[in-house]
Amino acid sequence: MSTIFEKIVAREIPASIIYEDELVISFLDINPNNKGHALIVPKKKFVNIFDSDEMVLGHMMHIAKKIAQGLVDGVGATGVNIVMNNGEDAAQEVFHAHLHVIPRYPEDGVFQRPKTKTYEDGEAMKLAEEIKNAIA
Ligand code: AMP
């Protein structure tokens, strides 16, 4: 079964498309955090960052820069959040990878500052070592 975003790529369902090339398509999110909120989606589906084609993933970020600038120049955004939810516990709902490009305006109240946690003595160093070893 194809994802909702594959259906948009195939023009089986409508979308407000703002950009397209051979690798990605970008269209407006149907439930925007702010008006102009865009998604950038690989045409050839991968689920999220974990199974991503790195070249396409890099290209998605390249296009995110272009769209971010378009939101500033075209509709007057004064800031932009780039978000990628990867996995159910990270609030991913559509399991076809996508970057969110969310235009921001002064005092728009779109996001609350996320809650923060505190490290015990030495805990951050230990954790850094574990992550460093995992990616080595
Ligand atoms: P995520 O939680 O990162 O998986 O977000 C999925 C996003 O896709 C949500 O912000 C939805 O509003 C958006 N979305 C779902 N269906 C459509 C659609 N048909 N057209 C545009 N955006 C959609």
Average pLDDT over residues 28-55: 98
Distance of CA 90 to the CA centre of its chain: 12
pLDDT at 64 over 90: yes
Nearest atom in ligand 1 to the alpha carbon of residue 7 is 19
Q: How far is the CA of 92 from the centre of ligand 1 (A)?
A: 9
pLDDT in the model for residue 95: 98
Q: How far is the CA of 32 from the centre of ligand 1 (A)?
A: 9
pLDDT in the model for residue 23: 98
Q: CA 56, 60, 65, 66 torsion: positive or negative?
A: positive
Average pLDDT over residues 129-134: 98
Eight-class DSSP state of 123 = H
Short-list 9, 20, 36, 45, CA closest to 101: 36
The two structure tokens encoding residue 90: 């990270």
Whose C-alpha lies nearest to ligand 1, atom 13? 29
pLDDT tens across 85-100, in order?
A: 999 999 999 999 999 9
pLDDT at 113 over 90: no
Q: How far is the CA of 15 from the centre of ligand 1 (A)?
A: 11
Eight-class DSSP state of 6 = H
Average pLDDT over residues 95-123: 96
Decide if 98 is catalytic.
yes
Q: In what order do the strands lie in the sheet with 99-104?
A: 17-20, 24-28, 38-42, 99-104, 79-83
pLDDT in the model for residue 112: 86
pLDDT in the model for residue 124: 98
pLDDT tens across 31-44, in order?
A: 999 999 999 999 99
pLDDT bin (cut points 50, 70, 90) of residue 114 is confident
